[in-house]
Structure 1
């Protein structure tokens, strides 16, 4: 059973305008100092953000209880300051040059990426899955990469920017495409090849250290995990759990395929990149790139193909019913992007604010 952990980024918003509210430092201090459940809270790039990393889990019941408990605590901390804490890939509205958190590393990012900073009001969901060693991780990475557009399609949750509908379901992903290392990682021969190539990137294009390599899947230096970074931050805990469950099953399957010399799916890099862009625009409302066939197919067929690929890993940990229930929930309620758009159509910004507030602590 592969262990896993979850990182969730949240943004604080002014309820009336849905613009960022710079209370991250105060909320961080409160949460970090008051409860063991919050001990993994950290600053994020902007003063309006906060990040929370979970403990390491083996079972999804543990993850579910943990996520809900922290989100409830976060909601109360935000409410006491007259703001909303939101799980969205990008805020509805922005306001000038954002305030960067007063940490040396973040000021270095600001210096390196310059005019991109005002658009970096983005929040992601990162899932870590335990791997046996770095060599196994690289071989699994070669097999996971082709399914990243499918995961993104299920995770889209940022349709608005500067008060307007962008026509994309994950505008966060569009912002990220402008950074120097992003998208699906390339194929690697082995761990030595991976490590050599990431070291060559340091100093080029704003990549001032190995932590600023932001592929949508990567091998962290400080943890024996594979980190999947393609997903938008999620409105609610059940949506996060679905993506975490699928990610663990995907990485588990990829590790097994590499052990038994099952070849990676052969797909042209330009097609895979276009499939990622397509998923950012469409979500699951239209068709998606099926990496097995290399063609566009209905989103249900493609997500079912992912379930089929991961089927044995899903069944071994007894998560088939849970994943099917959570996937049916997404298909019934819509992705985060669909739900945000529906709220705007129904009642404008006030309805969107109500959705963000309610969803943060929703458990069904």
Structure 2
């Protein structure tokens, strides 16, 4: 069974204005008193962000417990400062000036990107899946490409920017397109080809090191994993868990018959499909990942489930993934739910909704699949921006 790890980014907001507040260092000190030290909770590019790096995981129920435990403590720490902690791809409002974390790497990036530093208020969900070798990782990376737009649509959770509705479901994905490496990764011949092309990018644009490669999926610079970075940060743990299990199933499917993995779509189609997914989420049509034509979003999602069914059965995740997918299609994406909260009760209603959503489901209320599997207590280590 393939292991997986979860990196969740959260933004800290003023409860009244929903403007990000630079209290991450204070929150991290509070988290450390509950056992969530710097090996588990990391600083991010901005002083209003914190990132949780999970242990190396095997099973749904241990992942659910880990996410709930952290989110509940994080929310309590934020409440002590009168702040709301939100799992959103973009915050509702942005401050006038950037809040870059005092870190030499982040300062270097901020100097490189100029005005973009004041607009990088974005938060992501990164899923790592363990692979036995870099060659296997390249097979998985090539296979993943066609499924990234569907995963983005399912994760879409950033409709607002500077207090306005963007009309996009994932404005974070659009913001990220301005970076020098972003969007769908190219296809690679093998691991050597990957390494050579990565090294050629170092020093260009916003790429001071391998960890700043910002494709929607890549090989991790630190771990023997494929890292999928296409998703927005998530409101509640159930969608995070759904995406993690689906991404593991995609990687497992690619490894089951590596010689039969078909070439991915043309890059212009994938790029357009990612933009389309960012615009509409699950609220309209999506580009079908196999037929390359527009069809109802539910059909594209069903194609993902059908293709990964055998892998989900092997991992024991088919029932829970099916249930969580049906729930997502019923209640809508995070973007849909944020809009509903705002349209119902305005900014105050959105603030209340975000405060409740971050820990809206205890692990006891999430369906579980059986006994805990072996758990490697080492946390994932992040080297990435949102």
Secondary structure of residue in 1 paired with 2:148? helix
For residue 36 of structure 1, report the CA deviation from its aligned partner: 5.1
1:18-71 C-alpha deviation (Å, 9 max, x unpaired): 000110011112213431588410100001000010000111100001100100
Of stretches 57-66 and 288-297 in structure 1, the one that deviates more from structure 2 is 288-297
Secondary structure of residue in 2 paired with 1:306? helix
Of stretches 29-38 and 320-329 in structure 1, the one that deviates more from structure 2 is 29-38
Q: Is contact 2:236-2:359 (8 Å) kept?
A: yes
1:313-334 C-alpha deviation (Å, 9 max, x unpaired): 1011211110111111112221
Q: Number of aligned pairs? A: 362
5+ long unaligned stretches in structure 1: none
Partner of 1:331: 329
Match among 321, 339, 350 for residue 352 of structure 1? 350
Q: Summarize the Cα distance change of 1:36–1:88 in structure 2 as closer, same or farther, 3 Å threshold.
A: closer
Q: Summarize the Cα distance change of 1:311–1:122 in structure 2 as closer, same or farther, 3 Å threshold.
A: same
Q: Is contact 1:98-1:118 (8 Å) kept?
A: yes
- The answer on 1:343 being equivalent to 2:341 is yes
Match among 262, 276, 279 for residue 278 of structure 1? 276
For residue 206 of structure 1, report the CA deviation from its aligned partner: 2.0
Partner of 2:193: 193
Secondary structure of residue in 2 paired with 1:251? helix
Partner of 1:78: 78
1:231-274 C-alpha deviation (Å, 9 max, x unpaired): 0000000110011111110111112231xx11324421101100
Partner of 1:215: 215
Partner of 1:153: 153
Across the aligned residues of Structure 1 and Structure 2, the Cα RMSD in angstroms comes to 1.1
Return the TM-score normalized by structure 1.
0.97
Q: Is contact 1:32-1:40 (8 Å) kept?
A: no
Of stretches 328-337 and 151-160 in structure 1, the one that deviates more from structure 2 is 328-337
1:255-309 C-alpha deviation (Å, 9 max, x unpaired): 2231xx1132442110110000000000011111112111111111100101111
Secondary structure of residue in 1 paired with 2:11? strand
Of stretches 79-88 and 312-321 in structure 1, the one that deviates more from structure 2 is 312-321
Return the TM-score normalized by structure 2.
0.92
1:315-361 C-alpha deviation (Å, 9 max, x unpaired): 11211110111111112221100000001110000110111011110
Distance in 2 separating the partners of 1:257 and 1:303: 22
For residue 222 of structure 1, report the CA deviation from its aligned partner: 1.2
Pairs within 5 Å for 1:14-53: 14-35=14-35, 39-53=39-53
Q: Is contact 1:37-1:66 (8 Å) kept?
A: no
Partner of 1:91: 91
Secondary structure of residue in 2 paired with 1:127? strand
Bigger relative contact order (CA 8 A; separation at least 6): 2
5+ long unaligned stretches in structure 2: 366-386
Q: Is contact 1:32-1:39 (8 Å) kept?
A: no
Distance in 2 separating the partners of 1:189 and 1:265: 11
Partner of 2:267: 269
Distance in 2 separating the partners of 1:3 and 1:38: 22
Partner of 2:173: 173
Distance in 2 separating the partners of 1:87 and 1:38: 20
